[in-house]
Amino acid sequence: MLFQLLVTAVLIKVNLAVNCCINQGSEGSCGDVGSGCEWLHDNDPILVGSIQCVTPSWAACERDASACKPPPPPGAPPPVPKECVFDTCTNSADIINVAFIIDESGSVGKTNYLISLDFIKNMVAHDINDNSRISMLSYSSESNMDRVYRFSDSQHDQKQGALAALAQERTNYNGGMTATATALREAIAEFTTPGVDISDGRNVLILMTDGHPNQGGDPCDEKDKLDALGIEVYIAGVSSGFSKADVECLVESDSDIIAIPSFESKLFWIIESKLRQVVCPIVFKDAQDLFGSIVHPFMQYQYISSNIMVWLCLAVFVAICVIYYKREKICTSSNDKYQPGFEDDEV
């Protein structure tokens, strides 16, 4: 038991040491990274969305333009902006049943709806592995529940089938009211479709909405059904009209709600960076597997002794010290202005 506790503590410390600023969700973990990160308090005028742990160079530039990277010299062509995308998720073999619920009510509008679809497209293409299953439902009024894609569709190539369905959906914006509770009921039914066995995967539901539910009942009434099926709920709230109070009952903690102030592609990267940790969980798991592969032979042949324990813990401690010492080089590639979610270079 003591050994398990030691390994768990070590893994948590490694996770804090190697993760860069954007992944730190508390002031304490932000400070643990060291001088490479700065915590923005709730009343800080440069705070954008829910990201509070940022690089000092970005914060300095936001507060004083003279600290920013200088513009290119006269006559030089402007840099070509590149889309900020993640590498394709290939290091996780976990099966996850991911259901997207996408708000297409009148307050969203067609332009913003297309930006929402682009966000879903990025997640499907880069953040969900080939073993997982995908379901997508767009919604507005109670009479407009548009089943874009089902778990039962394209069983042999879920990702390509989902991407093709998203391409077709781009010409199908309808508008209307915001029947969030009805959409939740439709999504819950998808997890229990007769003849479709998804029992071997983890159930995740991602709700994207920009406003107040105003039709179809109270979303909170669906919480018990979600819990009964073991469905983890994450909410992406977009724009100043998003009502956290109406849907926070669906999640386990406030950290499961990611809010951004507007429909801007660069801001959606903030949501994607957090949800990727849910649907492509590789950082902590890979480290856990590594330690497991080291310890398992000793456990199997009962060679764990007090001396081996001491040397093993010492080796892990040295590795952590090296990673912590190199943390700034790991997290910061240059002294230029940098903020995850606003970077021009590819991630």
**pLDDT for residue 321:** 76
Q: Quick check: 170 pLDDT over 50?
A: yes
- The bridge status of strand 38-39 relative to strand 53-54 is antiparallel
Amino acid at 340: P
Tell me, what's the pLDDT at 316? 79
How confident is the model over 12-25, as a mean pLDDT?
54
Residue 142 DSSP code:
T
The b/e string for 251-288 (b: 16+ C-beta within 10 A; e otherwise) is beeeebbbbbeebeebbbbbbbbbbbebbbbbbeeebe
> Of 44, 35, 77, 17, which is closest to residue 287 (Cα–Cα)?
17
List C-alpha distances in Å: 141 to 67, 117, 150, 215, 248: 49, 19, 20, 7, 21
pLDDT score of 85: 64
Q: 90 is written with which tokens?
A: 């290939």
Confirm if 98 and 276 have CB atoms less than 8 A apart: no
- Mean pLDDT over 309-326 rounds to 74
Report yes or no: 193 and 133 within 8 Å, Cβ to Cβ. no
Whether the per-residue pLDDT at 319 is higher than 60: the answer is: yes
Distance in angstroms (rounded) separating the CA atoms of residues 30 and 35: 9
Torsion sign (Cα): 19, 23, 26, 30: positive
Lowest mean pLDDT among 58-67, 124-133, 241-250, 260-269: 58-67
Pairwise CA distance, residues 22 & 142, whole Å: 37
Rounded Cα–Cα distance for residues 302 and 294 (Å): 13
pLDDT of residue 23: 65
d(CA 137, CA 134): 10
**For 189-226, how does the pLDDT look when each residue is reduced to its tens digit (9 = 90+)?**
999 988 888 899 999 999 999 989 999 999 999 999 99
Secondary structure class of 69 (helix, strand, coil): coil
Tell me the average pLDDT across 115-123.
95
d(CA 146, CA 58): 41
Per the CB < 8 A criterion, the answer to whether 69 and 56 are in contact is: no
Question: Which pLDDT tens digit goes with each residue over 46-100?
Answer: 777 677 888 787 777 777 766 676 665 666 565 554 555 677 888 788 899 999 9
